[in-house]
Chain A
Amino acid sequence: MELPILPTSVVGSYSMPSWLERLKTEYSLRKISKADMDEVHDAAVKAAIKDQEMAGLDIVTDGEMRRDNMIDYFAERLPGVEIDHTSKQFYYDYFDSVVRGKLPIAAMGLVDDLNFLQANTDRTVKFCVTGPHSLVKRIKNEYYPGEAEFALDLARVMNLELKELVRAGAGWIQVDEPYYSGFPQDLAWGVKALNALVDGVEARIVLHICYGNRYGKPSWAGNYRYLFPTILDANVSELTLEFAWRGGEDLEMFKEFPNEFNVGVGAIDVKSDDVETPDIVAERIRHALEFIPLERVVVLPDCGCHNLPQPVALGKLRAMVEGARIVRETLGA
């Protein structure tokens, strides 16, 4: 499907309903069967897709409704990762997970979720995965000599899964690496692991880097200067960054460090329940266009909508889509 100028998308997650949170917690406490939980997840994914379509997004995701958080969904699927399933009381908490030997190669089962997404929408779809740097920050390592080695091996295993996703039709794959911002000193090996992850993966690769959005608040402070110039070595098509709540000062760096990246411009503040007007969104996009060519800009929220109430999330996405339309119209694009 051909995308317009200034295509719109979500970063990954959609509003997590409180009823689903309760059910997920009950599932993690073994009060609901897997079969029932799968049905619940299917219904929630369909609802998330529907909302994204109603908002008018060009590129949609499954809302990450099946995921407890950005780590456990992968930790549970990665071969060789041991999980203590009794280690959390609330679904959103992280499992205690550990690697005690070299990771074996095995399918992670992500293709099933991609297939479900593709079967339920005609829009362009994007599949999101947590990157190796972020995963090694939460999965305890008792085997590899260091985090860098652990991340590289994770990338090796996950690379095969990403290629399976491409075979199943994934055209857009997003890698989430928020922990770069918490550990800027790791960036060099983080990018190496990222490149190993996407090596030979024939899809449009998006790299999302934010300052954290767990519980709807930032986990770290700072600015994106730490990314440059190292990030220029990342083999990705698009960098998706947050500019709404933080302001657009960091956009200057895209002039200071010439590059070919498309840029996903975070134009919606997902840490606030106040719904932006389309004009505010349009202003944020116009500001980004002072630094990035029009044809290289994608419009998104700052980060996932997981923590927003559903009416707020839908309202924000609608405003975002309308804001992009206003800019297109103004520019005659």
Chain B
Amino acid sequence: MIFQVNHMRKVRAELISRVTTTLLSLAEDGKVDSAILPHLHVLLEWIQYRSNFRKTAMVRKSLKNGQPSPSVEIAIDLRQVDEDSLPRILEAAAAEAASHALVPSRVVLEPFGPMRSSMIWEFNKLYWQHRIEWEKATGKGYENALPSGSSDGHNPDAIGDQVAKFYDLVADMDDRGQLPERLYVMEFGVGSGERAHRWLELFLQSDRSRGTTYYARIRFLLCDYSMEALEGALELLGPHREVAEPREVDAMDPFRALSDLRYKVLYVHLTNVYDNLPTDDAVLRDGRIYLIEVRSYLDQADVDDLCRDYALDAETFPDAVRSLLERGPHALDDPEAGVRFWMALWGKLQLEERMVTVDSLSDASLPSGLKSSHLEELVTSGPGTVRFQLSSGAVGSFAGTIPLLHPRGYLEVMDIFVTELTQYRGGFKGPGKMDGSVVNWVNGALLAEVGRQAGYDVHFKPFTYRPGSRTSILYTTHRES
């Protein structure tokens, strides 16, 4: 048995000690199957998001070539665990670790598969489609759920600096006689349009105050997957609508919809988009790589409660979930009850995980945009044992955005980034739940490697415009070396 402590806080130190002694006592009492002990890895960690998909103790079995393999992991969330329930939780986890059977007290909602394909992302989509109904039920807007109570993307000082940087680039190109006819600027995930409006307003002011006429050349591309959001944002732009153009774009595959702009865009901005895109997780341990597969489930007791509260049939409960995902709150006759059902279900939804051994990265089923060479460099130079995110959606988005950049263009992303693989050893960075959406930290180290291999240096700087902000600013420069 190997203990791995990924997080240490003073108040938890004693608890960590209790976890180890309790597990050893259970082993002594024969309550941990001795057959699993040589292969048992016990992980003590801190889950970043208070609201998440994990139980206090999570068992991860492993597969190799489609068959069960002896390696098994029990991951314990030091944030949730308490001394009183510790023996019971650990005994149950040890029993689950030793068993090949499905845990009988769970209602499984989907088969095991890559995390990026899990139904949690359908719930995420549902939230963005029906956010207004959710907000009406909770009485608070999405931004209230953010740690700062508002989006860092709207920070006026930050936008002012972003405008100044872009203006300097344009003026320099003008000095060199390289000013293109059109100055393409792009924002993914436009929200209400508030940031775009402020950006255009400040750029126009800069242009006028310096006696230049660059504003007339601006083509501001508002990109979002929701036409409804785009129409709302356009409306907010007022007179700046003249230089704006809405584009319906899948953030995970922007090149598909925007290939006409290849090598033309001077500036691309995203705020809090990557952290909301599907991800996969991988584990690096003893020189071996595992990909994490997941399946969604609910505890039988929670299903019983939901069925009772919303007059649903327990036998067909998975169908009711499917109907909710397809039709939204209107899946129930009373849409308000539909929202309540959705919220209650979301709150109870859990993920079961298993680790799938990867023999060769080049043969692994990696997400779009990710090549084995990106991971090879990262894992050979990274820490020996670590679980990290593949940030599948973010990588796809990043890889599909950089071919749009003009030779002098740059990408700027404000989000929550892990900038070195070793930072993953300090805690579990998601997925978590933020209102009805899924949220993750983003593997910036991996994005940097993807960028490097595509000819871009990727830099990170802290978002200094709000004290205590966890936001970082990723920006690209063209690789010169």
Q: Which positions in A face B, CB cutoff 8 Å? A: 18, 21, 88, 93-94, 211-212, 214-222, 245, 271
- In the complex, are the beta carbons of B454 and A217 less than 8 A apart? yes
Q: Which positions in B face A, CB cutoff 8 Å? A: 178, 180, 262-263, 373, 402-403, 406-408, 453-456, 478-479, 481
| Neighbouring A residues of B263 by C-beta, 8 Å | 217-218, 221
CA distance A218 to B263 in the complex (A): 8
| Neighbouring B residues of A21 by C-beta, 8 Å | 373
Query: In chain B, what residue has the closest Cβ to A218?
Result: B407
**With A88-B481, A93-B481, A221-B180 as given contacts, are A214 and B408 in contact (CB-CB < 8 Å)?**
no
Query: In chain A, what residue has the closest Cβ to B266?
Result: A221
- In the complex, are the beta carbons of A216 and B407 less than 8 A apart? no
User: Which 8 residue pairs spanning A and B have beta carbons closest together?
Assistant: A215-B455, A93-B481, A221-B407, A218-B407, A220-B407, A217-B455, A218-B263, A215-B454
- In the complex, are the beta carbons of B178 and A222 less than 8 A apart? yes
Query: In chain B, what residue has the closest Cβ to A221?
Result: B407
Query: In chain B, what residue has the closest Cβ to A246?
Result: B263
| Neighbouring A residues of B408 by C-beta, 8 Å | 221
| Neighbouring B residues of A214 by C-beta, 8 Å | 455, 479
| Neighbouring B residues of A219 by C-beta, 8 Å | 407, 478
* Most A CB within 10 A of own CB, among B180, B402, B455, B456: B455
The smallest C-beta distance from B429 to any residue of chain A, in angstroms, reads 27
Main secondary structure of the interface of A (DSSP, over half): loop
CA distance A86 to B249 in the complex (A): 44
**With A212-B407, A218-B263, A220-B407 as given contacts, are A18 and B454 in contact (CB-CB < 8 Å)?**
no
Q: 8 A-B pairs, CB-CB below 8 angstroms?
A: A18-B373, A212-B407, A215-B453, A215-B479, A217-B407, A221-B178, A221-B263, A222-B178
CA distance A128 to B406 in the complex (A): 28
| Neighbouring A residues of B479 by C-beta, 8 Å | 214-215
- In the complex, are the beta carbons of A94 and B403 less than 8 A apart? no
CA distance A218 to B456 in the complex (A): 12
CA distance A93 to B454 in the complex (A): 12
Query: In chain B, what residue has the closest Cβ to A88?
Result: B481
| Neighbouring B residues of A220 by C-beta, 8 Å | 407
- In the complex, are the beta carbons of A94 and B455 less than 8 A apart? no
- In the complex, are the beta carbons of A94 and B407 less than 8 A apart? no
Query: In chain A, what residue has the closest Cβ to B456?
Result: A215
| Neighbouring B residues of A271 by C-beta, 8 Å | 403
Contact pick for A94, options B178, B406, B481, CB 8 Å: B481
| Neighbouring A residues of B455 by C-beta, 8 Å | 214-217
CA distance A211 to B262 in the complex (A): 14
The smallest C-beta distance from B11 to any residue of chain A, in angstroms, reads 42
CA distance A220 to B479 in the complex (A): 13
| Neighbouring B residues of A216 by C-beta, 8 Å | 454-455
The smallest C-beta distance from A273 to any residue of chain B, in angstroms, reads 11
The smallest C-beta distance from A288 to any residue of chain B, in angstroms, reads 22
Query: In chain B, what residue has the closest Cβ to A269?
Result: B262
- In the complex, are the beta carbons of B406 and A217 less than 8 A apart? no
Query: In chain B, what residue has the closest Cβ to A182?
Result: B407
CA distance A77 to B481 in the complex (A): 20
| Neighbouring A residues of B481 by C-beta, 8 Å | 88, 93-94
13 further A-B contacts with Cβ under 8 Å, apart from A221-B408, A271-B403, are: A18-B373, A211-B407, A212-B407, A214-B455, A214-B479, A215-B454, A215-B479, A217-B403, A217-B455, A218-B263, A221-B180, A221-B406, A221-B407
CA distance A290 to B178 in the complex (A): 29
Query: In chain B, what residue has the closest Cβ to A217?
Result: B455
CA distance A252 to B263 in the complex (A): 22
CA distance A245 to B259 in the complex (A): 12
The smallest C-beta distance from A331 to any residue of chain B, in angstroms, reads 32
Query: In chain A, what residue has the closest Cβ to B362?
Result: A18
| Neighbouring A residues of B373 by C-beta, 8 Å | 18, 21
CA distance A69 to B97 in the complex (A): 52
The smallest C-beta distance from B74 to any residue of chain A, in angstroms, reads 37
CA distance A148 to B262 in the complex (A): 34
| Neighbouring A residues of B407 by C-beta, 8 Å | 211-212, 217-221
CA distance A219 to B406 in the complex (A): 9
The smallest C-beta distance from A200 to any residue of chain B, in angstroms, reads 36
| Neighbouring B residues of A212 by C-beta, 8 Å | 407
The smallest C-beta distance from A31 to any residue of chain B, in angstroms, reads 13
Query: In chain A, what residue has the closest Cβ to B451?
Result: A215
CA distance A21 to B408 in the complex (A): 27
CA distance A216 to B406 in the complex (A): 13
| Neighbouring A residues of B262 by C-beta, 8 Å | 245
CA distance A217 to B402 in the complex (A): 10
CA distance A93 to B479 in the complex (A): 9
* Most A CB within 10 A of own CB, among B373, B456, B481: B481
The smallest C-beta distance from A276 to any residue of chain B, in angstroms, reads 15
| Neighbouring A residues of B453 by C-beta, 8 Å | 215
Query: In chain B, what residue has the closest Cβ to A19?
Result: B362
The smallest C-beta distance from B23 to any residue of chain A, in angstroms, reads 42
CA distance A212 to B453 in the complex (A): 16
